[in-house]
A and B are shown apart, each in its own frame.
Chain A
């Protein structure tokens, strides 16, 4: 439903009723529900048809496969791109007439932008709201992003933790508004654990039995369908429960917890644990307001790869900003070992000649190297030419030991940190941060670990970025760090002219964004 990029699709208000609409957060079992409600010859629930969007050839190719697999009488070849202007045009003219003969048809959406319009055009007789504990949703969403290599629509940059955060927050708000429509709540935890919950679903939709095929999953990209099928097979399993419990300590677990703490209204509404009053996050741009119909988050902004996010400090948005600067400071051909990256978003920020080695505390995709990073157990450097640890240091208990381990790579390292000097009002423990250092303490630690640090203090107002160059062990007297010189940088380029060569020996300044 989200593909409305300023060019509204003209839709007459037809009011064609659909049997069921399945709406929910990503990773709440909506595709599974789709397939359960799809029974050959009787009912079809279409996953993410984006009916309100402009003509989308790859999507139509996928849907065409679903329709044919299901048994609709459609031509063997999908429609040509020039034939239709919008998805709904094709759907109404070709697909809908065939669906009308079924007992039930419907759609499922996890992208809830503009659901009001969709439900106006196709008023659903039934509405199923799919939900799941927000902490599990977050961890699972990170895995989805990594495995599928999801990208932002406006650029080919990969979606990141900040996007996961913003999208979940946006969807929670919409779900809270959707509760005003008569509905059935389907908790993922119940769906996979209790046959009675599935019976209730069937009864609600007027089916005497549920579907057993995974038609909607099969038409998904291989990166998703093969992974999910390998995990669950054709069965409904409990393997995806306890995602949060299994997630090791670190920024991603903290992020999951943070989302959960931000939306107690969701947890209350759908019967999940509600955080204790002291843990709840209040007065935040993303919080649910007193009127759930008004979403404080602008959908289009969440879909911009470099959106700055809420006014409040959100570590995942800080991490996004740090990545942007580091990417600018890496030359083509660099091989970056990205420590503690929740997503491999950096991969799509680097030049094509560069490589990215993602490493984290959990295997979020096949390429991830796993190690206990926050306890100083770093993965082997392999072919890496650079190392990054962005949004990581705050979560390390023994920072000197961690820096020593970093020094072991003997490679240039980029690290970010929120020094206490720059964040006096930030409640660090509430962010899950394990340490609190001032600027000068940090510099001393970097030097003690054997680095020559080049800082970019509070580059986004709060967060500092450091390029750490491994210092050669010298027998003579120790030189003072040349941080200040590097920080000041060389002369800037005049408008339309190349930058003059900086004077001095080392001018490896971090590029401004």
Chain B
């Protein structure tokens, strides 16, 4: 097909959770324009995705042949170009929206966009929202064997930020999510930019999403544009997710400057990191393909989310088969895919991120009831607890075997613990003493990844002589 015929009216690009699907729907007006969400046109053939595209196009009112079941093309565009694109030519315009920005130069080479919209949002909000999305949809790494984790969220956001900074070199329209949902004039400007006299009012692109996403989002926002998702970061209580969000924001100040968001204080900024923005955009420092591997080790620098990934991996080899595991780590329930056969996960967090989450004030040692749990996981959480004694005592209260991870001060002399948001600073010896005091027998694997230790705790009777206060003090 001639290159001219393949050019598209608009491309909507942005990091996940920056309102790209909403924008795709606002720019979709029956009979006039259609913006397709995540068609992955250059990707290898994927029957489900091809079906989704076909469903969207049919819902929109275009009759197109369904994807071939026999002898499918090698890539999605083989189907799209032949059966969908000719139908789209009759519209005022068509376009795509992507949050997976890998390979956009090739996409734009094949389907040159006449207009480009860059969707952005405060990175802290994006991170908190991305955790919720991952948790609600139980997003998996390619292959589906392992659930995506916090380290993936960090890597993906960093990757997208660098691609966005490179995309800025093309003529574009910046659309801040905060303005989009708050200011009707911004929506008018959006319509003007693409040449529509009015924006779409249906949520076609949201409807074709998996139920785990669309039902939740539709319930939250209805079919309108609401401000309910603003202030996500403000509402997020202290804990691993808030720390992750802040860390992403501190790491990628260039994005905040480019798109007019607040920037961290000089001392709080993370500089000289493998994921930091290069002096000239274009060469992405985050390797996309490696970031899609569940066991990728990540940047050379210490990253708590990657440490958590390592702790989970080691912990998974130490959980007995058939265990009902109470995970006190908060954040994502990625352990769910790492458990031995016959095991079950009860996930606790500082906030009820999904209906299945047990919310509890973990950082203050107020742990959730154990329920049916037979085993407890406390990975990457003790560092964030201000009174570790109280936390350990509550942990002992379960009377269950525990796997605990910790970065002892002996092993982290090179880290600025406060900059990582850590609130407890125990040496190996202090930790062992505290555990003994509250009544745990400990098997240690000190600094298994160079810094982080994993401890197997088995409850034993507490020595009778010490009072409660003494035990807490000692811990």
Cα–Cα, bound, A272→B117 (Å) = 31
Closest chain B CB from A468 CB (angstroms): 43
- Grouping DSSP codes into helix (H, G, I), strand (E, B) and loop, the A interface class, with mixed when no group exceeds half, is loop
CB contact list, A276-303 vs B, under 8 A:
276-277, 280, 282, 290-293
Closest chain A CB from B176 CB (angstroms): 10
1/0 contact string of B264-298 vs chain A (CB within 8 Å): 01100101000000111100000000000000000
Cα–Cα, bound, A265→B277 (Å) = 12
User: Which residues of the other chain, B, contact A271 by a CB distance below 8 angstroms?
Assistant: 266, 269, 271
| Contact present for A290 and B169 (CB under 8 Å) | yes
User: Which residues of the other chain, B, contact A474 by a CB distance below 8 angstroms?
Assistant: none
Which of B96-104, B234-242, B250-258 has 4 or more CB atoms under 8 Å from chain A? B250-258
| Contact present for B280 and A177 (CB under 8 Å) | yes
Contact of A276 among B165, B258, B262, B280 (CB under 8 A): B262
Cα–Cα, bound, A293→B280 (Å) = 7
| Contact present for B279 and A274 (CB under 8 Å) | no
| Contact present for A291 and B280 (CB under 8 Å) | yes
Cα–Cα, bound, A195→B254 (Å) = 30
User: Which residues of the other chain, A, contact B280 by a CB distance below 8 angstroms?
Assistant: 177, 180, 291-293
User: Which residues of the other chain, B, contact A40 by a CB distance below 8 angstroms?
Assistant: none
Contact of B279 among A177, A272, A277 (CB under 8 A): A177
Closest chain A CB from B124 CB (angstroms): 14
User: Which residues of the other chain, B, contact A251 by a CB distance below 8 angstroms?
Assistant: none
On chain A, which size bracket covers the interface? 20 to 34
| Contact present for B257 and A290 (CB under 8 Å) | no
- Whether, in the assembled complex, A365 has its beta carbon less than 8 Å from a beta carbon of chain B, the answer is no
User: Which residues of the other chain, A, contact B141 by a CB distance below 8 angstroms?
Assistant: none
User: Which residues of the other chain, A, contact B260 by a CB distance below 8 angstroms?
Assistant: 277, 280, 282
1/0 contact string of B134-170 vs chain A (CB within 8 Å): 0000000000000000000000000000000100110
Whether A272 touches B262, Cβ cut-off 8 Å, given contacts A176-B279, A264-B257, A290-B281, is: no
Cα–Cα, bound, A268→B258 (Å) = 11
Cα–Cα, bound, A265→B165 (Å) = 13
User: Which residues of the other chain, A, contact B279 by a CB distance below 8 angstroms?
Assistant: 176-177, 179-180, 269, 292
- Whether, in the assembled complex, A246 has its beta carbon less than 8 Å from a beta carbon of chain B, the answer is no
| Contact present for B254 and A268 (CB under 8 Å) | yes
User: Which residues of the other chain, A, contact B278 by a CB distance below 8 angstroms?
Assistant: 180
Cα–Cα, bound, A225→B420 (Å) = 47
User: Which residues of the other chain, B, contact A292 by a CB distance below 8 angstroms?
Assistant: 279-280
Cα–Cα, bound, A252→B396 (Å) = 65
| Contact present for B168 and A268 (CB under 8 Å) | no
User: Which residues of the other chain, B, contact A177 by a CB distance below 8 angstroms?
Assistant: 279-280
On chain B, which size bracket covers the interface? 10 to 19
Closest chain A CB from B274 CB (angstroms): 16
| Contact present for B165 and A268 (CB under 8 Å) | no
Smallest CB gap from B170: residue in A: A290
- Whether, in the assembled complex, A273 has its beta carbon less than 8 Å from a beta carbon of chain B, the answer is yes
Closest chain B CB from A283 CB (angstroms): 11
Smallest CB gap from B260: residue in A: A277
- Whether, in the assembled complex, B263 has its beta carbon less than 8 Å from a beta carbon of chain A, the answer is yes
Smallest CB gap from A291: residue in B: B169
- Grouping DSSP codes into helix (H, G, I), strand (E, B) and loop, the B interface class, with mixed when no group exceeds half, is loop
- Whether, in the assembled complex, B398 has its beta carbon less than 8 Å from a beta carbon of chain A, the answer is no
CB contact list, A238-281 vs B, under 8 A:
264-265, 268-269, 271-274, 276-277, 280
Closest chain B CB from A174 CB (angstroms): 12
User: Which residues of the other chain, A, contact B254 by a CB distance below 8 angstroms?
Assistant: 265, 268
Cα–Cα, bound, A272→B265 (Å) = 8
User: Which residues of the other chain, A, contact B261 by a CB distance below 8 angstroms?
Assistant: 277
Contact of A273 among B168, B169, B258, B266 (CB under 8 A): B266
Closest chain A CB from B169 CB (angstroms): 5
Smallest CB gap from B166: residue in A: A290
Smallest CB gap from A270: residue in B: B266
Cα–Cα, bound, A268→B250 (Å) = 11
Closest chain B CB from A233 CB (angstroms): 30
Cα–Cα, bound, A180→B266 (Å) = 21
Smallest CB gap from A282: residue in B: B260
| Contact present for A290 and B168 (CB under 8 Å) | yes
Contact of A268 among B169, B257, B281 (CB under 8 A): B257
Smallest CB gap from A265: residue in B: B257
Cα–Cα, bound, A179→B258 (Å) = 17
Smallest CB gap from B280: residue in A: A180
Cα–Cα, bound, A324→B165 (Å) = 42
Smallest CB gap from A290: residue in B: B168
Cα–Cα, bound, A282→B258 (Å) = 10
User: Which residues of the other chain, A, contact B269 by a CB distance below 8 angstroms?
Assistant: 268, 271
Cα–Cα, bound, A282→B257 (Å) = 11
Contact of A274 among B165, B169, B257, B271 (CB under 8 A): B257
Cα–Cα, bound, A291→B280 (Å) = 6
Closest chain B CB from A204 CB (angstroms): 15
Cα–Cα, bound, A180→B261 (Å) = 24
| 14 examples of A-B residue contacts, CB within 8 angstroms | A176-B279, A177-B279, A180-B279, A264-B257, A268-B253, A268-B269, A269-B279, A271-B271, A272-B266, A276-B262, A277-B260, A291-B169, A291-B280, A292-B280
Chain B interface residues (CB < 8 Å from chain A) = 165, 168-169, 253-254, 257-258, 260-263, 265-266, 269, 271, 278-281
Excluding A265-B254, A271-B271, 17 further A-B contacts by CB distance (< 8 Å) are: A180-B278, A264-B263, A268-B257, A268-B263, A273-B265, A274-B253, A274-B257, A276-B262, A277-B262, A280-B257, A290-B169, A290-B258, A291-B169, A291-B280, A292-B279, A292-B280, A293-B280
Which 7 A-B residue pairings sit nearest by Cβ, starting from the closest?
A179-B279, A290-B168, A180-B279, A274-B263, A277-B260, A290-B169, A264-B257
